[in-house]
Chain A
Amino acid sequence: MDNLELKRHANAVRKGIVTAVHGAKAGHPGGSLSAADMFTFLYFEEMNIDPKDPKKADRDRFVLSKGHTAPGLYSALANRGYFPVEDLPTLRHLGSYLQGHPCMQETPGVDMSSGSLGQGISAAVGMALAAKLDNKDYRVYTLLGDGEIQEGQVWEASMFAGARGLDNLVVIVDNNGLQIDGKIEDVCSPYPIDKKFEAFNFHVINIDGHDFDAIRAAFDEAKKTKGMPTAIIMKTVKGKGVSYMENSAGWHGKAPNDEEYKVAMDDLAAIDAQLA
Chain B
Amino acid sequence: MSDIKKIATRESYGNALVEYAEDFPDLVVLDADLAGATKTGTFKKAYPDRHIDCGIAEANMTGIAAGLATCGKIPFISSFAMFAAGRNFEQVRNSIGYPHLNVKIGATHAGVTVGEDGATHQCNEDVALMRTIPGMTVIVPSDDIEARAAVRAALEFKGPVYLRFGRAAVPVINDKPGYKFEIGKGVKLREGSDVTIVASGICVDSAVNAAELLAADGISAEVINIHTIKPIDKDIILESAKKTGKVVTVEEHSVIGGLGSAVCDVLAENLPTPVKKIGVQDVFGESGSAAELVKKFGLDGESVYKTVKEFVK
* B63 located at the interface, meaning its Cβ lies under 8 Å from any Cβ of chain A in the complex: yes
Please report which residues of chain B, range 94-127, place their CB below 8 angstroms from some CB of chain A when the two chains form the complex: 94-95, 98-100
Please report which residues of chain A, range 131-161, place their CB below 8 angstroms from some CB of chain B when the two chains form the complex: 131, 133-134, 152-153, 156-157, 159-160
Cross-interface CB contact of B60 among A61, A103, A156, cutoff 8 Å? A156
The interface residues of chain B lying within 8 Å CB-to-CB of A131 are 71
The interface residues of chain A lying within 8 Å CB-to-CB of B66 are 112, 122-123, 126
In the assembled complex, how far is the CB of residue A247 from the closest CB belonging to chain B, in whole angstroms?
31
In the assembled complex, how far is the CB of residue A54 from the closest CB belonging to chain B, in whole angstroms?
12
Q: Are A160 and B67 in contact (CB under 8 A)?
A: no
Q: Are B67 and A119 in contact (CB under 8 A)?
A: no
Q: Are B57 and A130 in contact (CB under 8 A)?
A: no
Q: Mark A46-58, 1 if CB is under 8 A from B, else 0.
A: 0000000000000
Q: Are B70 and A123 in contact (CB under 8 A)?
A: yes
Q: How far is the CA of A130 from the CA of B28 in the complex (A)?
A: 10
* B34 located at the interface, meaning its Cβ lies under 8 Å from any Cβ of chain A in the complex: no
* A104 located at the interface, meaning its Cβ lies under 8 Å from any Cβ of chain B in the complex: yes
Q: Are A133 and B73 in contact (CB under 8 A)?
A: yes
Cross-interface CB contact of A111 among B52, B62, B70, B90, cutoff 8 Å? B70
* B187 located at the interface, meaning its Cβ lies under 8 Å from any Cβ of chain A in the complex: no
Cross-interface CB contact of A126 among B65, B99, B100, cutoff 8 Å? B65
What's the interface size class on B, roughly?
20 to 34
Please report which residues of chain A, range 103-120, place their CB below 8 angstroms from some CB of chain B when the two chains form the complex: 103-105, 111-113, 115-116, 118-120
Cross-interface CB contact of B57 among A116, A120, A160, cutoff 8 Å? A160
* A13 located at the interface, meaning its Cβ lies under 8 Å from any Cβ of chain B in the complex: no
Cross-interface CB contact of B67 among A103, A115, A126, cutoff 8 Å? A126
Q: How far is the CA of A104 from the CA of B71 in the complex (A)?
A: 13
Q: How far is the CA of A195 from the CA of B22 in the complex (A)?
A: 44
Interface of chain A, main secondary structure: helix
In the assembled complex, how far is the CB of residue B35 from the closest CB belonging to chain A, in whole angstroms?
16
Q: Are B67 and A112 in contact (CB under 8 A)?
A: yes
The residue in chain B whose Cβ has the minimal distance to the Cβ of A152 is B59
The interface residues of chain A lying within 8 Å CB-to-CB of B68 are 126-127, 129-130, 133
* A124 located at the interface, meaning its Cβ lies under 8 Å from any Cβ of chain B in the complex: yes
The residue in chain B whose Cβ has the minimal distance to the Cβ of A125 is B64
Q: Are B94 and A123 in contact (CB under 8 A)?
A: no
Q: List 24 A-B contacts (CB under 8 A).
A: A63-B67, A105-B100, A112-B66, A113-B94, A113-B99, A116-B90, A119-B94, A119-B95, A120-B63, A122-B64, A122-B66, A122-B91, A122-B95, A123-B64, A123-B66, A125-B64, A129-B64, A130-B70, A133-B68, A153-B59, A153-B63, A157-B63, A160-B55, A160-B60
By a beta-carbon cutoff of 8 Å, the part of chain B in contact with chain A is 28, 49-50, 52, 54-55, 57, 59-60, 62-73, 75, 90-91, 94-95, 98-100
Closest 9 CB pairs of A and B: A126-B67, A122-B63, A130-B71, A156-B60, A156-B57, A126-B64, A123-B67, A113-B99, A127-B67
